[in-house]
Amino acid sequence: MGRGKSKILGKSADINRVRRSIRAMSKQDENVLITGEAGTGRAMVAGLLHETGNRNNKNFVTIQCSALGDTIDVEKVFGKSLKEGSPNDGTIFKAQDGILYFENVDQLDAQVQNKLYNFISTVNKSALNARIISSADPAIESKIREGMFNNDLFQVLDELRINIPSVRDRKQDVPFVFSHFLDEFCTEFEKPVPTVPYDIFEAILEYDWPGNVAELKNTVRNLVIMSPEGELSPEYLPFRVQPNPLEALASRDLTSAVGEVEKFLIRKALARYEGNQSRAAQLLQVSEATLRYKMKKYGFQNIK
């Protein structure tokens, strides 16, 4: 979503914490590092910090760090800011007194990391006065420990931190976000809003959403476009959820279902250790007496 239409979706405690962080940090001038997996909405959060902050009447300039030195020329971004000559001829100087957003800052190579650190430490303070907002994968801290990311640069960027949780860590938000995008795309494609079949509802809750909110949005778009008018069809889900191995027990009462699981695990443990009950009990984290009791209970005779 572009700035001006940004909206954080969800009602979970984790996503409410993100909202509170944005409100608290938007009026400040410290640099902000936004961490989160791809697809969680890092750029949207950066935009909200600008929209609701004291610099919302100044420019918001995005630098895509993953392309710097590849499809984006480093010299055109930084200009002559660290050389003799004019200090204001690079792309970054369009953010005068505004916001400089470094997207995917963890993907900068070592040379550009050093250049960015020098720029923030010298030129930004004296000639630009931009607030620096950056985004990165949570693995950036592992890169620091491995010597792959400049720790001095990290400390400058990480004056304030907002961490956006992955969708798999806030599954309670999935139905709400799904319904939001369903309404949005039905309106866009001029279709009536259909009911959501149980099998689709079950699938979206079981799926781990590695692409996070971005993947969820694309999934709903796909369903709305491809499904027959007035209904949603699970055959148009662009992913497949692996069947739950316990699905066959869904129609059983709790006591018999638990018994089936216990028998399965005991059989596997005994087979793994060729019938050695002591080692099987250790694997199952029960006493040998408990294991022998359950073996007798379930009629284990041929234990291999």
The answer to whether residues 135 and 218 belong to one domain is: no
Q: Which amino acid is at 58?
A: K
The answer to whether residues 59 and 142 belong to one domain is: yes
User: Mean pLDDT across the chain, nearest whole number?
Assistant: 88
Long-range contacts of 138-144 (CB under 8 A, 24+ apart): 138/35, 138/36, 138/37, 138/163, 139/106, 140/35, 140/105, 140/106, 143/106
Q: Is the model's pLDDT at 52 over the cut of 90? A: yes
Number of domains in the chain: 3
Nearest in space to 164 (alpha carbons), one of 14, 2, 5 = 14
User: Can you spell out the DSSP letters for 14-56?
Assistant: HHHHHHHHHHHHHT--S-EEEE--TTS-HHHHHHHHHHTSTTT
pLDDT digits (tens, 9 = 90+) for 21-30: 999 999 999 9
The answer to whether residues 133 and 31 belong to one domain is: yes
The answer to whether residues 225 and 265 belong to one domain is: no
Q: Is 2 a member of any domain? A: no
Helix (H, G, I), strand (E, B) or coil at 132: strand
The answer to whether residues 186 and 273 belong to one domain is: no
Q: Which amino acid is at 184?
A: E
Position 301 scores a pLDDT of 61
Position 243 scores a pLDDT of 61
Rounded CA separation 82/128 (Å)? 13
The answer to whether residues 125 and 188 belong to one domain is: no
Kindly tell me the burial class for residue 189, based on how many C-beta atoms sit within 10 Å of its own C-beta (0-12, 13-18, 19 or more). Answer: exposed
Query: At 47, which CATH number?
Result: 3.40.50.300
| Secondary element (H or E) of residue 113 | helix 110-118
Domain endpoint, select from 114, 143, 165: 165
Helix (H, G, I), strand (E, B) or coil at 102: strand
Mean predicted confidence (pLDDT) in 40-64: 95
**CB-facing half-sphere around the CA of 74: CA atoms within 13 A:** 16
Q: Is the model's pLDDT at 128 over the cut of 70? A: yes
Q: Is the model's pLDDT at 75 over the cut of 90? A: no
Domain endpoint, select from 117, 133, 165: 165
Nearest in space to 22 (alpha carbons), one of 38, 3, 39, 181 = 3
Q: Is the model's pLDDT at 3 over the cut of 70? A: no
Query: At 223, which CATH number?
Result: 1.10.8.60
Q: Is 8 a member of any domain? A: no
Q: Is 104 a member of any domain? A: yes
Mean predicted confidence (pLDDT) in 259-273: 84
Cβ(173)–Cβ(71) below 8 Å: no
pLDDT digits (tens, 9 = 90+) for 151-207: 999 999 999 999 999 999 999 999 999 999 999 999 999 999 998 888 888 889 889
Cβ(170)–Cβ(14) below 8 Å: yes
Name the pTM for this structure: 0.77
The answer to whether residues 178 and 161 belong to one domain is: no
Cβ(194)–Cβ(230) below 8 Å: yes
Rounded CA separation 108/66 (Å)? 6
Rounded CA separation 25/120 (Å)? 19
The answer to whether residues 214 and 265 belong to one domain is: no
Q: Which residue has the tokens 């007798």?
A: 296
The answer to whether residues 21 and 160 belong to one domain is: yes
Angle CA 124–30–93, to nearest 5: 25
Q: Is 118 a member of any domain? A: yes
Angle CA 159–162–166, to nearest 5: 150
Mean predicted confidence (pLDDT) in 3-14: 77
Q: Which residue has the tokens 């069947």?
A: 243
Distances (CA, A) of 7 to 14, 55, 57: 15, 19, 20
Rounded CA separation 168/182 (Å)? 20
Q: Is 152 a member of any domain? A: yes
Q: Is 195 a member of any domain? A: yes
Q: Is 134 a member of any domain? A: yes
pLDDT digits (tens, 9 = 90+) for 34-45: 999 999 999 999
The answer to whether residues 18 and 77 belong to one domain is: yes
Q: Is 304 a member of any domain? A: no
The answer to whether residues 157 and 183 belong to one domain is: no
The answer to whether residues 25 and 125 belong to one domain is: yes
Range of the domain at 268: 247-297
Number of other residues whose CB lies within 10 A of the CB of residue 247 = 8
Query: At 266, which CATH number?
Result: 1.10.10
Beta bridge pairs of residue 103: 64
Q: Is the model's pLDDT at 235 over the cut of 80? A: yes
Q: Is the model's pLDDT at 85 over the cut of 60? A: no
pLDDT digits (tens, 9 = 90+) for 88-99: 678 999 999 999
Domain endpoint, select from 115, 135, 165: 165
